[in-house]
Structure 1
Amino acid sequence: MVVKKRLESNTKPRIAFGDSYTYVQGTHGHQNYSFVGDAFDFAFDEQTLLSNKIVQNQTATAEGGPNWVEYLTNCGVKPGLTSPRTCKKQLWDFAFAGSDISTEYEKQTTAPPLHHNFTVSLVNQTLQFKDYAHNPLSKFLAPKDSLIAIWIGINDINDSSKYSVDFPTFYKNLTTTLFTSVNDLYTLGYRSFLFMNLPPSRPNTRKPSLELAASECNAARLFEQEKSGAEVRVFDAHAHLSEILDQPAKYGLVNTTAFCAGYDQPDIGENYLSYGCPTPLDTYFWFNSGHMTSHVHRILAEKLQEWLRG
């Protein structure tokens, strides 16, 4: 990708889409799933959006604490409630925990079903944003000065293992569908896009779909070439997370295979020994069977920030 300085600035707001690795809890969101709304509460007005606040507590993300996009913006990191408008680098997060890219792809390829009937897929996240969030936000956040951040595909790959899938077609249609939604954002005036490729999966199989990663990277490169003024970068989250797994002591980690069975207990921070965990939660790579700890998200965000500036 062509590196252009204005892709990263100290004040560029982030508008995020994705799944549980990216979602943040909002006061107007579905508990444990979203910042605002769900599939049954899809529409919202300007007042609902702008009065919404990021919640930060043990259950407000899928990591037991702030996630990568909160660390990247330093928005919503402190415990309690934070209005995105009060952050120097604003974060407006439309990711939905458990989300797939879509429930049906082009050429009639059937995709795995949604995790819940209230889940908002990536396709519908961008539709929801287009219909209800773009106009209110564009009054004080110019689209050309905002960065769109997308981390999606984990659930698509994990769920596909349960079905009979023609994977070359599946990967192609995943990517096509993803960039159809990205193009919708481009038509609204957004020009800066950041994508994260798939992370390793527990227990450290290091086998997310390399084919999907390659397909996404190629599609991103083509999108940048075809769209006037578009700046697109794909961050190799898989490589950076693999490096953390290979050198855990360097990052203060002592356990990279298991997770603490009491991860969801309210007193886990102080009483981890009571739950059979020999070391504190932030010494673990894995928070639970499918998510990394907040500590790992912070490390990843630091690497991403350095990469963006580089």
Structure 2
Amino acid sequence: MKSLVSFFVAVACADVVSSVPMGKHHHGGFEWSKNEIVFGFGDSYTFTQGQYGLTNYSWNTFQNLDKHGQVIVKEDPIILNAVSVHNCSINDDEQITYEFKTSAGLPSKCKHSLYNIAFAGADIDPTKTTLHHNFSIDYVTQIDQWFKYVKPAVHYESSKTLAASFIGINDVSDTSKWTNVSFPDFFDGLIASVFDGLERLHGAGIESFLILNVPPVDKAPGGGGKPALTTNIATYNSILSNYTMTFAKNHTESNVFFVDTNMIFNSILANASSYGFKNTTGYCPEYDAPDFNTNYTAYGCLAPYEYFWYNTGHVTYPVHKLLADQISDMLNSGTTVNK
């Protein structure tokens, strides 16, 4: 599905191709207007399609070489609107970075350069759960890919860089039928893996972090109102919140933003009509038809933007836009959990 749509400011790193990104710690408040780069990690709610990515799953496979034999990173164009919300829109990461307003598509052409390592279908740690797809690139591996491929290629300044982490949806969903596990302990171990990754990024000089919790996918058409999934989400989100507060407390020099997507989505659902949504429980079965966006009436469906849910588990582009707007407000106001 789509990612966050507006991480803001002009890009200066395009001219420093050969620079090695050793960020300097600049203590002080976060200024979104001066932020230059966003590094994204997550699953289908976060991924953006790239020319050198796996179609429908990622921005980059890091397998393609340029004429010098170097892995292509900075020159991998983001394909406009090619995310899980189909042709009609943009996701959260694209909206926050304003990628959806550019035509060239190169990460450096976004108002805030977007290097999105997220992979649709990702879970957190393959040592703790079976991969959602046997080809999924999990969160732990995404962090490894950042260090191996992105960090050497992209110049960044600590004070002008944001790392966005949106993960856990597949983990809570895929394990909701388990009956032989203590979920508080299990999710604690999974989330520990997430923050191991964030600690590594912090050690690499990144000092601003955006952390999002799991939205109410139990209310999605594919969630089926399953009580176990509802409980899983609440447990996971509670532990994630505690880890976020501890991380912020341990890194007072950093800027840690926490986005309660669960609360935001539930608020939108509770006031759906005021946002223009006419259907909050179903979706059009022909959502993936090539002409769906312009010919939806032929399928007996509402307009795409009148649905809250895009398919069995993802939301439509207006929902991503509403989420992105709230995230943008948070970043602009500098509302961190530790300041």
TM-score by length of 2: 0.81
What do the CA deviations read for 1:237-260 (whole angstroms, capped 9, x no partner)? 111111110111211111100001
Per the alignment, residue 204 of structure 2 pairs with 188
Give runs of aligned pairs for residues 146-185 of structure 1, distance below 5 A: 146-163=161-178, 164-185=180-201
Moved more, 94-103 or 298-307: 298-307
SS at match of 2:257: strand
Q: Tell me if 1:23 matches 2:47.
A: yes
| Structure 2 counterpart SS, 1:254 | coil
Partner of 1:199: 215
Q: Contact (CA 8 Å) 1:43, 1:128: kept in 2 or not?
A: no
User: Which among 130, 144, 151 is matched to residue 113 of structure 1?
Assistant: 130
Q: What are the superposed Cα offsets for residues 179-222 of structure 1, whole Å, 9 maximum, x if unpaired? A: 01111111110010011111011147493522211211111111
2:43–2:123: 8 Å Cα contact kept in structure 1? Answer: yes
1:51 aligns with 2:75: yes
Alpha-carbon separation, structure 2, partners of 1:17 and 1:7: 21
Asked if the contact 2:244/2:258 (under 8 Å) is kept, the reply is: yes
Give distance in 1, aligned partners of 2:171 and 2:263: 20
Distance, in Å, in 2 between the alignment partners of 1:217 and 1:12 is: 27
1:251–1:76 CA distance, 2 compared to 1 (3 A): same
Gaps of 5+ in 1: 105-110
The match for 2:330 among 299, 307, 310 is 307
Q: Are residues 1:91 and 2:106 paired?
A: no
Q: Following the alignment from structure 1 to structure 2, what is the Cα–Cα distance between the partners of residues 21 and 294? A: 11
Aligned residue pairs: how many? 293
Q: How far 1:134 sits from its partner (Å)?
A: 0.7
8 A Cα contact 1:101 1:152, kept in partner = yes
Q: Distance in 1 between matches of 2:199 and 2:104?
A: 33
SS in 1 for 2:195: helix
Q: Contact 1:43–1:132 (CA<8 Å) still a contact in 2?
A: no
Q: For residues 251 and 95 of structure 1, do their structure 2 counterparts lie closer, same or farther at Cα, with a shift above 3 Å needed?
A: same
For 1:165 and 1:9, how far apart are their aligned partners in 2? 45
Which consecutive unaligned segments of at least 5 residues does structure 2 have?
Answer: 1-27, 334-339
The question of whether the paired residues in 2 share the 8 Å contact of 1:55 and 1:76 is answered with no
Q: CA deviation at 1:306?
A: 1.4
Q: How far apart are the structure 1 equivalents of 2:77 and 2:211?
A: 25
1-structure distance, mates of 2:65, 2:197: 18
1:99 aligns to what SS in structure 2? coil
User: Aligned partners of 1:42, 1:182: CA distance in 2, in Å?
Assistant: 27
1:282-297 equivalences in 2 (<5 Å): 282-297=305-320
Q: Percent identity?
A: 33
- Which residue of the partner structure matches residue 108 of structure 1? none
For residue 297 of structure 1, what is the amino acid of its counterpart? H
TM-score by length of 1: 0.88
Q: Deviations over 1:132-182 (max 9, x none)?
A: 1112112xx223320001100000000112333320211110111110111
8 A Cα contact 1:7 1:231, kept in partner: no
With over 3 angstroms needed to count, the CA separation of the structure-2 counterparts of 1:301 and 1:75, relative to structure 1, is same
- The CA RMSD over aligned residues, in Å, is 2.1
Q: Partners of 1:284 and 1:89 in 2: how far apart?
A: 29
* Separation of aligned partners in 2, 1:284 and 1:132: 38
- Provide the C-alpha distance between the structure 2 equivalents of 1:71 and 1:241, rounded to a whole number of angstroms: 17
Change (3 A) 1:262 1:158: same
Q: Secondary structure at the match of 1:128?
A: helix
Is contact 1:7-1:192 (8 Å) kept?
Answer: no
Which of 237, 258, 263 is the equivalent residue of 1:234? 258
Q: Compute the displacement of 1:26 (Å).
A: 0.4
